[in-house]
Amino acid sequence: MSDSRPIGVFDSGVGGLSVWKEMIKILPFESVIYYADNKNCPYGNKSPESIIQLSSKVVDFLLTKDVKSIVVACNTATAAAIDHLRKNYTIPFIGMEPAVKPASLNSKTKSIAILATEGTFNGKLFRETSRKYARDVELNIEIGNDLVDIVEKGLINEQSTYNYLKQVVKPLVDKDIDHLVLGCTHFPFLIPVLQKVLPENVKIIDPAPAVAKQTFRVLQQKKILNQSFQKPQYDFYSSGQTVVLESILKDIFGFDIEIHAV
């Protein structure tokens, strides 16, 4: 069986593009519709109820585009809304999972850190994952709400971002961490700067490739992969500013694509 309908992907803004990029690598025949809810960004400090409401609105929009499944490319929205979405819609949802497990298993110093939003740390998914997998390590948490804003405003390469990140990682480095888990899809765009401010032995873990693999597995299981081997179509919608979205797609990923404002 083959299903040529597109996959929907959404985030509060540009962050989910880090997941989109991994998805199109391992799902080269799947069309994808990306929705950036940047009018309402950040989600990180909003109540679970508001995030559920915002996510449902995005899902309703994506369903008007006939998507066959949806990747919630936002840790914060996954934490607050994925249970609700799975209960209320029939299509399969794939969410973000904080990569605490690989970091804990591979840590030699027995000290790891996770950088995420307040909303993600408050969710039960994070609590359960850390209880299950981080028993034998010291798990240092760091709220990175300001970092979302930095990425969303396209300030990645500013000197002020370097200075700020240096300050953010200092207490974590002092704790002798050897893994830093990126628990927010905006943060992989900061990896080049993070590599400069972290000691060489600290491994940065971006869960995006694992989520892309999980998307493949879910589509395969549900028998809704596109088997027609045609060139896919990529569409982008944004509820707010499109400038940074366009510049990430073009300058970092090399895609010159027009973003539809909604």
- The residues carrying an active-site annotation are 74, 184
Judged by CB under 6 A, does residue 75 bind ligand DGL? Answer: yes
**By C-beta, is 76 or 226 nearer to ligand DGL?**
76
Residue ranges in 108-137 that form contacts with ligand DGL under rule CB under 6 A: 117, 120
Judged by CB under 6 A, does residue 241 bind ligand DGL? Answer: no
- Name which position in 31, 55, 76, 107 contacts ligand DGL (CB under 6 A): 76
- Spell out the alpha helix ranges (H) of 29-180: 48-64, 75-88, 100-106, 118-122, 124-133, 145-152, 159-174
Q: What pairs with residue 35 in β-bridges?
A: 10, 237
Q: How far is CA 208 from the centre of its chain?
A: 7
Distance separating alpha carbons of residues 66 and 43, to the nearest angstrom? 25
**By C-beta, is 173 or 191 nearer to ligand DGL?**
191
Distance separating alpha carbons of residues 36 and 13, to the nearest angstrom? 4
Find tokens 């030699």 and name the residue: 108
Distances (CA, A) of 56 to 73, 166, 196, 203: 14, 37, 38, 35
- Name which position in 6, 8, 42, 240 contacts ligand DGL (CB under 6 A): 42
- The three-point CA angle 122-156-56 to 5° equals 40
Judged by CB under 6 A, does residue 239 bind ligand DGL? Answer: no
Judged by CB under 6 A, does residue 194 bind ligand DGL? Answer: no
Selected range binding ligand DGL among 26-34, 59-67, 70-78, 83-91, rule: CB under 6 A: 70-78
Residue ranges in 158-187 that form contacts with ligand DGL under rule CB under 6 A: 184-186
Judged by CB under 6 A, does residue 12 bind ligand DGL? Answer: yes
Residue in 72, 42, 50, 48 with CA at minimum distance from that of residue 59:
72
Residue in 60, 27, 63, 65 with CA at minimum distance from that of residue 235:
65
The CB-of-155 to ligand DGL minimum distance in angstroms stands at 15
Q: How many CB atoms lie within 10 A of CB 42?
A: 21
Judged by CB under 6 A, does residue 11 bind ligand DGL? Answer: yes
- Name which position in 44, 95, 98, 207 contacts ligand DGL (CB under 6 A): 44
Tokens for 66, please give them.
Answer: 């006939």
Judged by CB under 6 A, does residue 41 bind ligand DGL? Answer: yes
The CB-nearest residue to ligand DGL is 44
**By C-beta, is 102 or 232 nearer to ligand DGL?**
102
Contacts with ligand DGL by CB under 6 A lie at 11-12, 15, 41-44, 74-76, 117, 120, 148, 184-186
